[in-house]
Amino acid sequence: MATTPDAASQGQGAISALLQEDRRYPPSSEFTAQANAGDAGIYERAKADPEAFWAEQAQNLDWMEPYKTVLEWDVPWAKWFVGGKLNASVNCVDRHTKTWRKNKAAIIWEGEPGDSRVMTFGDLYREVNQFAAALQKLGVKNGDRVAIYMGMIPELVVAMLACARLGAPHTVVFGGFSPESLRDRIQDCEAKILITADGGWRRGGKVPLKDNADKAVVECPTIQHVVVVNRTDDARHVPMHAPRDVWWHRLMDDAKHAIVEPEALDSEHPLYILYTSGTTGKPKGMLHTTAGYLCGTMTTSKYVFDLKDDDVYFCTADIGWVTGHSYIVYGPLANGATCVMYEGSPDYPDKDRFWDIVEKYRCTILYTAPTAIRSFMRWGNEFPEKHDLSSLRLLGSVGEPINPEAWVWYREHIGADRTPVVDTWWQTETGHILITPLPGLTTAKPGSATIPFPGIEADVVDEQGNSVPVGGGYLVLKKPWPGMARTIWGDPDRYVNQYWSRFEGWYFTGDGAKRDEDGYLWLLGRVDDVLNVAGHRIGTMEVESALVSHPSVAEAAVVGITHEIKGQAIAAFCTLRAGNRPGDEAADELKRHVAAKIGPIARPDKIFFTAELPKTRSAKIMRRLLRDIGEGRVIGDTTTLADPTVLAEIRSQYEEKEG
């Protein structure tokens, strides 16, 4: 397995490779005039005193005890709103039930088969309390970890908020992950309870969530109970192992009318752990805490999406990723907003499912990913044109750099050339949006995430950490912000090394960026060994580990190659052990193997068999060469790679070129 990141992907070479293309389109300033109009001084105010700005925002939270200090900053350890006490479920639910919002829709949910459900804040309040009581009965206490492995159903939100009510950090594992990925995450955070469903609907089929959960928990001794939602009515087919397994609906029946006093939690109490890919084979459990995270997600939701009470806000992310945590659950609900939540696939039963949902519920805000936008473009304009999308007044993009063509198409064909488009840059680690235009205040440029959110100090620096006024470099963050991850669960050293060692005192994002003459930021993609496949983060090392776990594979190297729709796709180079034959059959087998090990999102698009991996004299894998081969720039007929002389020849040409 390749264990050393290569020089090219870490050094300035990566930046110049990323800088090849100039993506600029003319600026577009036609933002709705009223948006954020009341707060035109926000940038200056936040710049003058960022802590005062965040303190001002924190007044919008409901506190059980006021905090004493806004920020304690001992690089890289941040504590925000020190000494305060609060509860996230109270902020997202209880407080709205004390106002007219009690009967306002909190979640408008649509299942893939077409069933739907509206939950008001009052409904959410009752269910969160009921389920919190159920969890208590199962022995969950303040500080216990609870794993959640579900599809996009309202019970997922109820489960998260019930955990938050008890002070039990949740870890949501994306329902598309494999049993092994689920097992690893449960083992890492030593979860006590697993909440899942019998299955979930996806493209008309059932995802076997409970089967996967059963496979995972065999090796998870910390799990005491598995709670199962009956989603697909597969009750008769799902084996329940008493007393470990319990049905969600039984627990809820037993807890009818229960009210659970919310825990008064310290500002820095862990709210959740969310695993994300890094540059090693082992995912990192990013830890987010309560007050700062809520303040950051609530504030950014409010300003970036210009959230108002009559908005119907549709975020298409899955809650298994951070976008769903911050911008379906915590941020919008803290604002008392109405969120549309959809269970299934955008192309089921037809390629207009999102437009159908937008029209049906009169959605006003749509937040989705460039990969989806590029798919819509390819599917053709007739799909959005079939629907009345005139309710939309703001569009958002997240997850990867958006190419200007997709940005312009999105605005023209979905936004009818009328709506602002906010391209929002952030990460699992940052907790909330950090670089984005603000509608009504910032002139957009298609393809640029524009400028930092108020109170955020971002910079583009060179190898030595010198600021690059105009040009390309590494994106760093120079000041702490409230929603920043506090550490990696169980591995503070890795947290320091990964994020705070590359440039002393600053947070290193792992992204390359370019700054133009107007100070606008253009995100260029990752400069480390993390891939972004259809907006999903996957570590090359994770895929490499999965490949070498197959008995036929001796060595593997994985690179990201440009993909028209997904942004990046996975190409894997494998050397086989003696006695194994390369070919289509072997490639299919390895693709299946990776999908089973990690999840279908990590399935390589291309597998190349090579007699050896091209390495530099210092034994570093030449990933740039692999990328060129993967993208077809070097040789046409790649099957010949299995001949040892071919690769040797290409490599020597490369070595000459690179000096």
Rounded least distance, CB 168 to ligand WTA, Å: 23
Rounded least distance, CB 426 to ligand WTA, Å: 5
Helices (H), 426-518: 492-500
Rounded least distance, CB 373 to ligand WTA, Å: 12
Rounded least distance, CB 628 to ligand WTA, Å: 22
Is 356 exposed, middle or buried (CB count within 10 Å of its CB: 0-12, 13-18, 19+)? middle
Point out which span in 25-33, 198-206, 319-327, 584-592 binds ligand WTA (CB under 6 A).
319-327
When the beta carbons of 89 and 297 are compared against ligand WTA, the nearer one is 297
Rounded least distance, CB 508 to ligand WTA, Å: 11
In 167-322 the beta strands, taken as DSSP E runs, fall at 170-172, 193-197, 200-202, 205-207, 225-229, 245-247, 265-266, 270-276, 284-289, 312-315
Tokens standing for 69?
């200090």
Q: Are 502 and 509 in contact (CB under 8 A)?
A: no
When the beta carbons of 9 and 509 are compared against ligand WTA, the nearer one is 509
In 199-249 the beta strands, taken as DSSP E runs, fall at 200-202, 205-207, 225-229, 245-247
**Chain residues 24-83 in contact with ligand WTA, contact rule CB under 6 A:** none
**Chain residues 435-454 in contact with ligand WTA, contact rule CB under 6 A:** 449
When the beta carbons of 10 and 276 are compared against ligand WTA, the nearer one is 276
Q: Are 485 and 428 in contact (CB under 8 A)?
A: yes
Q: Are 43 and 452 in contact (CB under 8 A)?
A: no
CB neighbour burial string for 306-323, b if at least 16 within 10 angstroms, e if fewer: bbeeebbbbbbbbbbbbb
Cβ-Cβ contacts under 8 Å for 224 (sequence gap 6 or more): 138, 139, 192, 193, 244
Q: Are 475 and 458 in contact (CB under 8 A)?
A: yes
Rounded least distance, CB 275 to ligand WTA, Å: 10
Give me the 320-339 binding string for ligand WTA, x by CB under 6 A, dash otherwise.
Answer: -xxx----------------
When the beta carbons of 399 and 455 are compared against ligand WTA, the nearer one is 399
* Reduced DSSP (H G I as helix, E B as strand, rest coil) percent helix, strand, coil of the chain, to 5: 35, 25, 40
393 touches ligand WTA (CB under 6 A): no
Interface with ligand WTA (CB under 6 A), residue total 23
When the beta carbons of 67 and 499 are compared against ligand WTA, the nearer one is 499
399 touches ligand WTA (CB under 6 A): yes
**For residue 240, which amino acid is it?**
M
3 state SS of 342: strand
**Chain residues 447-506 in contact with ligand WTA, contact rule CB under 6 A:** 449
Instruction: Quickly tell me which residue has 């995100």 as its tokens.
Output: 523
537 touches ligand WTA (CB under 6 A): yes
* Cβ count near 464 (within 10 Å): 6
When the beta carbons of 361 and 507 are compared against ligand WTA, the nearer one is 507
Which of 94, 188, 511, 544 is the binder for ligand WTA (CB under 6 A)? 511
CB neighbour burial string for 41-77, b if at least 16 within 10 angstroms, e if fewer: ebbebbeeebbebbbebbeebebeeebeebbeeeebe
What distance lies between CA 252 and its chain's CA centroid?
30
When the beta carbons of 144 and 511 are compared against ligand WTA, the nearer one is 511
Nearest CA among 611, 627, 601, 612 for reference residue 529: 627
Rounded least distance, CB 316 to ligand WTA, Å: 13
Rounded least distance, CB 611 to ligand WTA, Å: 34
Rounded least distance, CB 399 to ligand WTA, Å: 5
Q: Are 422 and 437 in contact (CB under 8 A)?
A: yes
Rounded least distance, CB 456 to ligand WTA, Å: 14
Taking the CA atoms of residue 86, residue 89, residue 95 and residue 100 in that order, the dihedral angle to the nearest 10 degrees is: 170
Taking the C-alpha atoms of residue 199 and residue 182, their distance in angstroms, rounded to an integer, is: 15
Tokens standing for 204?
């008309």
Helices (H), 335-491: 353-361, 370-379, 382-385, 404-409
3 state SS of 146: strand
When the beta carbons of 8 and 304 are compared against ligand WTA, the nearer one is 304
Q: Are 469 and 459 in contact (CB under 8 A)?
A: no
Helices (H), 348-437: 353-361, 370-379, 382-385, 404-409
Give me the 259-298 binding string for ligand WTA, x by CB under 6 A, dash otherwise.
Answer: -----------------x----------------------
Q: Are 150 and 177 in contact (CB under 8 A)?
A: no
398 touches ligand WTA (CB under 6 A): yes
Point out which span in 421-429, 463-471, 592-600, 611-619 binds ligand WTA (CB under 6 A).
421-429
Which of 300, 403, 427, 568 is the binder for ligand WTA (CB under 6 A)? 427
When the beta carbons of 399 and 604 are compared against ligand WTA, the nearer one is 399
When the beta carbons of 396 and 630 are compared against ligand WTA, the nearer one is 396
Which of 130, 364, 424, 498 is the binder for ligand WTA (CB under 6 A)? 424
Which of 121, 367, 426, 608 is the binder for ligand WTA (CB under 6 A)? 426
When the beta carbons of 125 and 313 are compared against ligand WTA, the nearer one is 313
**For residue 390, which amino acid is it?**
S
Point out which span in 136-144, 154-162, 203-211, 418-426 binds ligand WTA (CB under 6 A).
418-426
Taking the C-alpha atoms of residue 272 and residue 606, their distance in angstroms, rounded to an integer, is: 35
When the beta carbons of 23 and 387 are compared against ligand WTA, the nearer one is 23
Which of 167, 270, 292, 401 is the binder for ligand WTA (CB under 6 A)? 401
220 touches ligand WTA (CB under 6 A): no
Is 213 exposed, middle or buried (CB count within 10 Å of its CB: 0-12, 13-18, 19+)? buried
Rounded least distance, CB 513 to ligand WTA, Å: 9
CB neighbour burial string for 522-554, b if at least 16 within 10 angstroms, e if fewer: bbbbbbbbbbbbbbbbbbbbbbbbbbbebebbe
**Pairing between β-strand 116-120 and β-strand 85-86 as defined by DSSP bridges:** unpaired
Which of 523, 531, 576, 629 is the binder for ligand WTA (CB under 6 A)? 523
When the beta carbons of 120 and 279 are compared against ligand WTA, the nearer one is 279
When the beta carbons of 367 and 609 are compared against ligand WTA, the nearer one is 367
When the beta carbons of 255 and 531 are compared against ligand WTA, the nearer one is 531
When the beta carbons of 342 and 426 are compared against ligand WTA, the nearer one is 426
Rounded least distance, CB 393 to ligand WTA, Å: 20
Which of 130, 316, 448, 532 is the binder for ligand WTA (CB under 6 A)? 532
Point out which span in 14-22, 32-40, 263-271, 395-403 binds ligand WTA (CB under 6 A).
395-403
When the beta carbons of 289 and 300 are compared against ligand WTA, the nearer one is 300
Rounded least distance, CB 173 to ligand WTA, Å: 14
Residues that bind ligand WTA (CB under 6 A): 276, 321-323, 398-401, 423-428, 449, 509-511, 523, 525-526, 532, 537
